[in-house]
Structure 1
């Protein structure tokens, strides 16, 4: 089955005590839109990001989450979690997001995207869902979704195929990076051989391993 985009979602401004930025506003509430959306190197056109110190930027320009993984959470929590419910810009179908290799490139619509790193759960996410122990549960489940760089600006819409056009030989996946940095530190040395990881992530890995840059 060919992977595809199930929905493109844009954040709306949400004001809440749990919101991450100093003004109490968050863009985690993302909702499906009709028609194509322009993805740029600096982010998704029309998307709202509240706490830019930890969200957005070239290495986190787009966030993708698999509809299949969302379905697991819907069953686990006995509640409907629709597209955008994880704060994702792209809800995918039949795409192995957790198994995506760091640095692999996706052709989606007229855009070219590159997988960079997994999402790290935060208190804003837990507050949005109203599940106090969500960070722990999300970490144990280890299906974090993937951040992507935009290598070529382009428009993406629901129904567009997701084609993997290049996959680095190192084979280190989104799931492996997430487990290495949160659950299984013995995997950290593997990440030293992944040049496509964001510099900030690599710096943290080297610091934890006490390895010079």
Structure 2
């Protein structure tokens, strides 16, 4: 069994001009050497240009698994180094899309993070990847990775081991919620949140209302 670990820690290399509403994007993340401090709002020295849709305490870090990256290497027939998806952490031996919402990981000696929500692809991401129909393809593949909330701050670096320290009993994964949301999935998350087993970010409740209207529940 592969030991779960951090393959790379990535932060913004340079701000790029972008056609979106902000006019600039911090999606150009690249691997850095040595230890990096992790704060409640993310990596020291990193930037989220648009904190309406990215960042904040509930989306402080974005993690993407090497398994999912390898899938895209096969699909796109090109190298996809750590950071190319805009991720802060490229990880191995642990799923990001298959992570249970609310599960917690200990990274290295002192950092603890919590799985919060799936990454929703946007036009900026499509421009970054320069692939036709990228948002649609990324969405349909469902290999979206996960945002993380920082529970305990500290220092991380490439090579740090990752240990699951808590997995909620509701069983709903990031991929379940992103690709196949149902009333049953919604109820499981809402009950776990109400019982205090997990703490959903506020946006989930807006999505619950949309789902109920769409499915007529």
TM-score by length of 1: 0.90
State yes or no: 1:202 paired with 2:205.
Answer: yes
- Whole-Å separation in 1 of the counterparts to 2:60 and 2:15: 20
- Whole-Å separation in 2 of the counterparts to 1:107 and 1:125: 29
Offset of residue 2 of structure 1? 1.4
CA contact (8 A) 1:6 1:93 kept: yes
Matched residue pairs, number? 207
Structure 2 residue aligned with 1:2: 3
State yes or no: 1:124 paired with 2:124.
Answer: yes
- Whole-Å separation in 2 of the counterparts to 1:172 and 1:103: 9
- Whole-Å separation in 2 of the counterparts to 1:28 and 1:58: 18
- Whole-Å separation in 2 of the counterparts to 1:77 and 1:140: 15
Q: Counterparts in 2 of 1:1-213, with a 5 A limit?
A: 1-18=2-19, 20-22=20-22, 24-109=23-108, 110-181=110-181, 187-195=185-193, 196-210=199-213
Q: Which runs of 5+ in 1 are unaligned?
A: none
Q: What is the DSSP-based 3-state SS (H/G/I as helix, E as strand, rest coil) of the residue aligned with 2:191?
A: coil
Q: Which runs of 5+ in 2 are unaligned?
A: 194-198
CA contact (8 A) 2:18 2:124 kept: no
- Whole-Å separation in 2 of the counterparts to 1:179 and 1:21: 27
Offset of residue 207 of structure 1? 3.5
Q: What is the DSSP-based 3-state SS (H/G/I as helix, E as strand, rest coil) of the residue aligned with 2:180?
A: helix
Evaluate the alpha carbon distance shift between residue 177 and residue 89 of structure 1 in structure 2; reply closer, same or farther with a 3 A threshold. Answer: same
CA contact (8 A) 2:97 2:175 kept: yes
Evaluate the alpha carbon distance shift between residue 64 and residue 73 of structure 1 in structure 2; reply closer, same or farther with a 3 A threshold. Answer: same
Per-residue Cα deviation, 1:164-207 (whole angstroms, up to 9, x for no partner): 001111111111111135xx677544443342321112222124
- Whole-Å separation in 2 of the counterparts to 1:126 and 1:185: 30
